[in-house]
Structure 1
Amino acid sequence: MSQSPAQDSIERQDALQQDEKTVVSADVHVPQPEDGPSSLVTRSRQSLSDVFTIFAAGFALISDGYQNNLMTMTNVLLKKEYPKEYTSTVSTRVSNALLVGEVLGQIVIGWTCDYLGRKWAIVITTLMIVIGGILATASNGYTIDGMFWMMTVARGVIGFGTGGEYPASSISASEAANERSLKNRGPTFILVTNLPLSFGGPFAVIVFLIVYSACQQSHLSTVWRVCFGIGCIWPLTVFYFRIRMLNSVLYRRGAIKKSVPYWLVLKYYWKTLVGTCGAWFLYDFVTFPNGVFSGTIISSVVSDSSILKTAEWQLLLGALQLPGVFIGAWLCDRLGRKQTMMLGFSGYLIFGLIIGCAYDKITHIVPLFVVFYGLMQSSGNLGPGDMLGLLSSESYATAVRGQCYGISAALGKTGAAVGTQAFTPIQNNLGKRWTFIIGAICGVAGILVTYFFIPNVTGEDLKFNDEKFRAYLVANGWDGQMGEGDLQAIAAEGIPPAITEDNLENKKEKE
């Protein structure tokens, strides 16, 4: 009779706890979380830092969602203000600037998270978002084309910051939730990461509608500049808490700051990396261009294609995406992370085919079109939107969590850039229905990648993954240092022979 993921998790934890007891009986001390965070940090201070880290991550990621979706209505606005200058080429360039910056930010900040610590990585990302937002607000030039080039560069700087937030905020929130709420780590992580990111879509439209109405549906230049400027506020509101935060206990015990054995890391995690990178590429290939160009799509199917009417339909579309986040958070522990992700990709298949095959008829019934469009996006949130960040934060050891998370997210944004670049040519050459049919095909590919490459991760304590990874490194001859400050130690210290032998046996079986 098959066991549930929760039962498997309990058995694995019991086995590892038995190994820890063996260590103690052998008079070898392995530092445990029960010993307290550190001789230099009190338990109450670390606990308070974990709470603020979780909430600051959620509040800051609203700005990421806001920036990711800001161009949805801005594209419509700029097209009306500059009909000749704001061509599809310029629109794609400005939209892709954010993606290119995000790819660079995810890789660089992912590396920074592991080498310099979670705190400084988060401070850097906050500053980049604010600086880029100021530059975007002040976009100008001797010509209109020059102004768009400045906007492109500014959006790239913002992208570096928002891209860096993915590994920096997400893994910090995961590690803090591991200490504060282990049993509810999965739902907690989703509600402070993907929920604010997804809420950024309707939030950006709400801000746009308020500003657009305040400007009496005119003064279009003022509207987009104010919307860009408002994006600077959210990261600044939590900047103080980010400066005061502490690195997690997991990081201060498990960081590798010198001589990272990348070959061993690759041998240990290659399959998982293929899964998280591949699934993230497919997810962003579909969801990002459908988000960026949804305003343009809606304006092309509504009879009254005014900016105000388009924004109202866009707000409904954004609101329909949110239920998927909550359903995914509810299912992640009950159904399992891997199974929930496959369920979400199935939504791409079902709703993508419905919209694509019936496109000519369904677009004449705008409410029905928007509802099915929203359900397709909501299923993405339910599955890969919720699970990819969670799995990428749980599947990798603390020592390389930032880098592996960053690489996975960067491949995702590469998929977003490819999808954004290919979106208009697909519409022009194959027809608008094919953007949805290709989304359905990506849903099938996502199910296969998830099934074959994504590990069936459960909600067990992240410290156990760290110990297994450490034992694997030691068993393969690595003898570097792990941790920082007063928690730094040689990796081999406290490794019980039983665990090392188990790792060697597992290695032999795999070979």
Structure 2
Amino acid sequence: MALQHHHHHDPTNQGMFSAPHDPETSDDHAIVGPPLQSDEAKVLKSLIYPDDTYTSEGTYWADLPFGKQLAFNAKVDRAEAAKELRSTGYMIKEDPLSPVAWYFKNAVLPGAGLGLEGYVLFSIGNVTPLFAAVWPSCWKNYTVCTKTWVDAISYLEISGIIVGQIIVGFLGDGIGRRWGLIQDAIVMFIGLLMLVASWGTSLNGWVICYAWALFFYGIGVGGEYPMTATAAMENATGSGKVSTKEDRLHRGRKVTMAFLMQGWGQFFNQSLLIVLLLIFHHGSGNPPYSAVAAQWIFRVSFAIPALGTLWLVYYRYYKMPLASKTLNAVKKKARVTGYDVQSLNLTCKHFGGRLIATAGAWYANDVFFYGNKLFQSQFIAVISPGNKSVMTGWLWNLVNVGVSLCGYYLASFLIDNKFIGRKRLQQLGFLMDFVLFVVPGWDYSYYTTKAHIGAFQTMYFLSSFFNQFGPNSTTFLVAAEVYPTPVRATAHGVSAAAGKLGALTAAIVFTYTDIVEKFHFVPWFGLAGMIVTFIFLPDTTGLDLKEQERRFEYIRAGREQEYHGIAVHPHHLSVWERFRGAGKSYNPELDYIDKVKDIREEWTNRQAEKVASDDLIVFDDEYPSEIHEYFVRTSSVPVVQKKNTPLGGGVDSDETGNETGNEKNEKANR
């Protein structure tokens, strides 16, 4: 889309700006910012033109010709990888186990809730074959138990998750992230106690109790989706006005590292069930299985995560006091208490296409995701005909989970690469799943013969890999990333609920179809997901999250057309948004003028607040020291330095509540 040719005088009177051109033009016509020789430009360069997204001339990476885009981003990625390798080397030299501690803090703890829920939810499917083997009159023949209630186990579980995703998503935006995280853990803990203690005067009574316990537990699980995604993302971003390289280069990795704990939950559950079967079945995995052994296996398997969930309640209550910091800062600026209804209305108006993308793609993905799980029994029946052992199915599932974990980790590794990114990764995953399901469905009898069973097995495992490598990881990330902070949890919860409707669709349809019809039904959701992603999903890879917030502030103020920054760069907009003209206002020259004005205005307001609250400190923890010093020299705002207070910016506190540099300085002053 060609851009209008504008000329504006440099606010520093140092010359004319370069005129913007179309992002896809030649090397000699890349869009550049203003000259950087003025004092103002030199001081603000690191803030307005960070070197990981802008060239030394002030050109945004997406405005470069394609070849130079690849070269620029490859250089940035190599430098960042080298820095991380050096840091890892220093850590290992100082303490060989410190990388493990780093991973535990940055991936395991943020994703602990998803790990625990993944353990429990997939345990339901794993223990079902054991129940069917021990109580066939209840779980297979339905002579003792009502088939409706046995089927209701899956339906109530998914329904509980949907309720939690929607309700906790709204409450997480209205009350706060920290509250949502704590209540999720409490609900899941109580739900696990109900599962461990589930009983009845008859087998059918126990099934009913078991189903409602899963519904209650599912509410906590549902809330975990929007709360974990928003907390992990906002912790990576911070609540200050200054964006960070960590946000721009590693935001996707930070969120997906938390999400992949769901895969580890599945892995540990399946591993533990195998061990428990050997313990309580006298070292054998072969049938027949006793009712006593089955009771011990499933109750112990639920009791263990109950202990972990109780610890999670403690950790979130006492060690995550700042989980709502970013949300509170945004609400304070907008002068909003409670739920921000205005932001919800504006999001529906301006980002409705994105909701189609995140909800629609998640719906399509969960048909695939749960289709893969539901096909597991048929898959095992084909490769192990005549098998009666629960252990065989569990061992094959363990292999499948291992393959899935490879997909999770590779997605986490590549999701911030600007050439691959969220959108292409999601499209690739959908396309590959479409192919890997449609091929065996085209000639099922051919691929399930003994001579071609290897090909069938390979396609099944690859479908697991590409589902995690693509849409199952990306949908979790983008459903939080493409929306404004005030409604981020709501939008994520609604999108995730749409996904669970896809799971419910799969569960219901598969009840009334045979295996070949299932293979004919599922692939088209991969094709639909790819199309929805292409049309409606913007590519936010490498896009500064705070810049998206800045754009939303303009929208909130009714000045949408006055925003000219990179959040409306055509590269970061969906096909639908470009069609509607959202990218027409992109203009780096005008954006520079606006950014300088916005930054100075925010700094001035901040100083006024400090003076009004008697917090008279000359440094500001939201801006680097050299920028703060420049504003002090060129501003009439009164600032007073506290005795012994160092000049310079601080660092935001992390999610664990550790002291920041500013907190330590204040303690020293006191």
Match of residue 138, structure 1, among 192, 197, 200: 197
Closer, same or farther: CA 204–359 of 1 in aligned 2, 3 Å:
farther
| Cα deviation 1:40-91 (Å, max 9, x = unaligned) | xxxxxxxxxxx95864222221112112211222110111122122246444
Contact 2:551 2:565 in 1 (8 A): no
Q: Is the 8 A contact 2:164 2:221 kept in 1?
A: yes
User: Match of 1:336, as an amino acid?
Assistant: G
Shift of the 124–376 alpha-carbon distance from structure 1 to 2, 3 Å rule, reads same
Counterpart of 2:347 (choices 265, 270, 283) is: 265
The Cα of 1:296 is off from its aligned counterpart by 6.0
1:238 lines up with 2:312 in the alignment: yes
Q: Which residue of 2 aligns with 1:253?
A: 329
1:125 is matched with 184
Q: CA-to-partner distance for each residue in 1:438-476, whole Å, 9 max, x for gaps?
A: 222111111100001111212333222112112201117
Q: Work out whether 1:59 is the aligned partner of 2:112.
A: yes
Cα 1:381–1:91 change in 2 (3 A) is farther
- In the alignment, the residues of structure 2 paired with residue 249 and residue 440 of structure 1 have an alpha-carbon distance, to the nearest angstrom, of 42
Counterparts of 2:403 and 2:106, CA distance in 1: 29
Matched, 1:203 2:268: yes
Q: CA, structure 1 residues 171+133, in 2 after alignment: closer, same or farther (shift >3 Å)? A: same
Q: CA deviation at 1:293?
A: 5.5
Q: Which has the higher contact order (CA 8 A, sep 6+)?
A: 1
1:227 equivalenced with 2:301 (yes/no): yes
Alignment of 1:61-460 (within 5 A): 61-87=114-140, 89-179=148-238, 181-182=246-247, 183-193=249-259, 195-216=260-281, 217=285, 218=289, 219-243=293-317, 244-245=319-320, 246-255=322-331, 256=336, 257-258=338-339, 260-261=341-342, 262-292=344-374, 294-295=376-377, 297-299=379-381, 301-303=383-385, 304-334=387-417, 335-365=420-450, 368-427=455-514, 432-460=515-543
CA separation of 1:372 and 1:265: change in aligned 2, threshold 3 A = same
Measured against aligned partners, the alpha-carbon deviations of 1:330-355 in whole angstroms (never above 9, x if no partner) come to 33222121111000001111110222
Measured against aligned partners, the alpha-carbon deviations of 1:239-261 in whole angstroms (never above 9, x if no partner) come to: 22211311244212213524511
| Secondary structure of the corresponding residue to residue 192 of structure 1 | helix
Task: State whether residues 185 and 312 of structure 2, in contact with CA within 8 Å, keep that contact through their aligned partners in structure 1.
Answer: no
The question of whether the paired residues in 1 share the 8 Å contact of 2:340 and 2:487 is answered with no
- State the 4+ residue runs in structure 1 displaced beyond 6 angstroms: 1-4, 500-504
1:3, distance to aligned residue in structure 2 (A): 6.5
| Per-residue CA distance 1:299-324 (angstroms, 9 max, x = gap) | 46522231111111111122122221
Residues 385/509 of structure 1: CA separation in 2 closer, same or farther (3 Å cut): closer
Number of residue pairs the alignment of both structures matches:
452
Please, which moves more after superposition, 232-241 or 152-161?
Answer: 232-241
What does residue range 469-480 of structure 1 map to in structure 2 within 5 Å? 469-475=552-558
- Please tell me whether Structure 1 or Structure 2 has the larger radius of gyration of its CA atoms: 2
Higher helix share goes to which structure?
Answer: 1
Query: Would the aligned equivalents of 2:193 and 2:303 in 1 still touch at CA under 8 Å?
Result: yes
What residue identity is the alignment partner of 1:222? Answer: W
| Cα deviation, residue 327, structure 1 | 2.2
CA distance in 2, matches of 1:437, 1:3: 42
| Alpha-carbon distance in 2 for matches of 1:381, 1:2 | 36
Cα deviation per residue 1:204-262 (whole Å; 9 max; x = unaligned)? 21111011111115411221222222232332233222113112442122135245113
| 1:124 alignment partner, SS class | helix
Alpha-carbon contact 1:62-1:234 (below 8 Å) kept: no
Match for 2:312: what amino acid? V
Q: Decide whether the 8 Å contact of 1:276 with 1:454 is kept in 2.
A: yes
CA distance in 2, matches of 1:499, 1:57: 34
CA contact (8 A) 2:176 2:324 kept: no
**Contact 1:250–1:463 (Cα < 8 Å) also in 2:** no
State whether residues 348 and 442 of structure 1, in contact with CA within 8 Å, keep that contact through their aligned partners in structure 2.
no
Q: Distance in 2 between matches of 1:215 and 1:65?
A: 24
CA distance in 2, matches of 1:120, 1:297: 42
- Per-residue CA shift, 1:67-126, capped at 9, x if unaligned? 221122211011112212224644431122211110000011111111111111011110
AA matched with 2:436: F
CA contact under 8 A between 1:52 and 1:241: conserved in structure 2? Answer: no
Query: Contact 2:182–2:313 at 8 Å: present in 1 too?
Result: yes
Change (3 A) 1:111 1:363: same
Distance 1:474 1:75, change over 3 A: same
CA contact (8 A) 1:60 1:234 kept: no
Is the Cα contact below 8 Å between 2:330 and 2:485 reproduced in 1? yes
Within 1, Cα distance between the matches of 2:409 and 2:461? 15
Alpha-carbon distance change, 464 to 76 in structure 1, aligned in 2, over 3 angstroms = same
Q: Take 2:410 and 2:402, find their aligned partners in 1: how far apart are those partners?
A: 14
Does the CA contact (< 8 Å) of 2:156 and 2:211 recur in 1?
yes
- Give the SS at the match of 1:305: coil
TM-score, length-scaled by structure 1: 0.81
1:416 deviates by 0.7
Residue 329 of structure 1: how far off its partner (Å): 2.0
Q: Distance in 1 between matches of 2:520 and 2:131?
A: 29
Give the direction of change, closer, same or farther, for the CA distance of 1:259–1:168 in structure 2 (3 Å limit).
closer
Q: Distance in 1 between matches of 2:495 and 2:538?
A: 14
SS at match of 1:426: coil
Q: Secondary structure at the match of 1:338?
A: helix
Whichever residue aligns with residue 150 of structure 1, its letter is: C
Partner AA of 2:481 in structure 1? E
